[in-house]
Structure 1
Amino acid sequence: MIKPIRSLRNAERGSTLLELMVVTLIIAIMSSISIPLIQESLATRQLESISRSFIEQAHFARQQALFLGESVQIVPRIGNDWNSGWVIQSSISKKAWFMQGSIEPIYFKQGGKQFSDPNASQKGILFNSAGAAKTAHGGFVANRLILGHRRLADLERHLILGSGGRWRICDPRTDSKACR
Structure 2
Amino acid sequence: MNKENSHLGFSLLELMAVVLIIAIAAMATMPLLQEQIAVREIDTIARRFINHAHFARQQALHLGQPVHLVPISGDQWEAGWVVKSGCIGKYVQPGCIDKPWFTQAGIKPIYFKGGGKQFIDPHSGKKGILFNAAGAAKTAQGGFVANRLILGHSRSPDLERQMILGSGGRWRICDPARDAKRCH
Match of 1:72 in 2: 67
Q: 1:137 aligns with which of 141, 153, 158?
A: 141
Equivalent-residue separation in structure 1 for 2:31 and 2:4 (angstroms): 42
1:1-180 equivalence runs, <5 A? 8-13=2-7, 14-92=9-87, 93-180=97-184
- Secondary structure class of the residue paired with 2:151: strand
CA positional deviation for 1:16? 2.3
CA positional deviation for 1:72? 0.3
For residues 53-88 of structure 1, give each alpha carbon's deviation from its aligned partner in whole angstroms, at most 9, with x where no partner exists.
100110000000000000001000012000010000
| Aligned residue pairs, count | 174
Runs of 5+ consecutive residues of structure 2 not aligned to the other structure: 88-96
For residues 95-153 of structure 1, give each alpha carbon's deviation from its aligned partner in whole angstroms, at most 9, with x where no partner exists.
00111112011111111110000110000000000000000001111000000111000
Equivalent-residue separation in structure 2 for 1:54 and 1:127 (angstroms): 15
CA positional deviation for 1:11? 1.4
Equivalent-residue separation in structure 1 for 2:74 and 2:133 (angstroms): 24
* Identity over aligned pairs, percent: 60
TM-score (norm 1): 0.93
Code of the aligned partner of 2:105: G
Equivalent-residue separation in structure 2 for 1:66 and 1:15 (angstroms): 70
| Structure 1 segments of 4+ aligned residues over 4 angstroms from their partners | none
Equivalent-residue separation in structure 1 for 2:80 and 2:123 (angstroms): 23
Equivalent-residue separation in structure 2 for 1:101 and 1:136 (angstroms): 25
Code of the aligned partner of 2:76: D
Equivalent-residue separation in structure 2 for 1:15 and 1:86 (angstroms): 59
What RMSD over aligned residues (CA atoms) do the two structures have, in Å?
1.1
- Secondary structure class of the residue paired with 1:153: strand
CA positional deviation for 1:173? 0.4
Equivalent-residue separation in structure 2 for 1:22 and 1:36 (angstroms): 23
The structure that has the greater radius of gyration is 1
TM-score (norm 2): 0.91
